[in-house]
Amino acid sequence: MLADNLTQVENKVKAALAARKEPKATGDAVTIVAVTKNHPAEVVTEALAAGLTNVGENRVQEVMHKKEVLPAGGIWHLIGHLQSNKVKHAVDIFDLIESVDSVKILELIDKQAAAKGKKQEVLLQINEAGEEQKSGFAPAEFKALLPKLKDYSHVVVKGVMVIAQATENVEETRPVFAAGYQDFLCLQQIVGQAQCTLLSMGMTHDYWIAVEEGANIIRVGTALFGERDYSLKF
């Protein structure tokens, strides 16, 4: 099942790349992050065996459990909201923290990374849709932060993450993703093209629109693995 589902996603990504109206600064290669949240640990093993080297999870505690029972491997992305009291563990276990949604969290990550003698790669999450229930920097807050990024010496800001609104008409997400791409370009101007390379946009219900608008990371779970099992406890 996974192999067939992956082929369908890859084909849809190829079609979306072909449908781009102009070349994008994010390039024409798209990384599929296999979102394994609320799936058993063995799903991660299946994903890696299928060639999906990037794994996405929403909760720190779930990854801590899975890493205890899984062999080493994979590039781990935190894609859910990061609580202040989980920052220390997140810096320990994630290769890329996509969901940096406030100055407070950015400061805590920088502090914990400094204590561990590492530089933590992150994305800045922007609430382009302006939804109150979603976390993320407002676009104006994001732009105000840009000149201050140099103050965080143990954080490497690799790009931007965007979550579009849930809607039955998927075309309604297009302006949100287009705005995310423009903010990605603003970030590139500040930190440079060599550092700012990642634009994470799009999930199962809208990833092809995101790719058309410039995403080079998509976060896909249900389209690969089916419905999540919310009865699982971690």
Instruction: Please compute the mean of the pLDDT values over residues 195-201 and round it to a whole number.
Output: 98
Rounded to two decimals, what is the model's pTM? Answer: 0.96
Indicate if the pLDDT at residue 221 is higher than 80.
Answer: yes
Please return the burial class of 165, using the count of CB atoms within 10 Å of its CB with bins 0-12, 13-18 and 19+.
middle
CB 220 within 8 A of CB 9: yes
Give residue-wise pLDDT tens across range 143-157. 999 999 999 999 999
**Cα separations in angstroms, 182 against 80, 124, 174:** 23, 14, 12
| pLDDT level of residue 192 (50, 70, 90 thresholds) | very high
* Residue 120 or residue 231, greater confidence: 120
Question: Looking at domain 2-17+29-223, does it have CATH number 3.20.20.10?
Answer: yes
CB 209 within 8 A of CB 176: no
| pLDDT level of residue 234 (50, 70, 90 thresholds) | low
The pLDDT of residue 124 is 98
Give residue-wise pLDDT tens across range 95-121. 999 999 999 999 999 999 999 999 999
Domain definitions of the chain by residue range: 2-17+29-223
State both tokens at 35: 């979102």
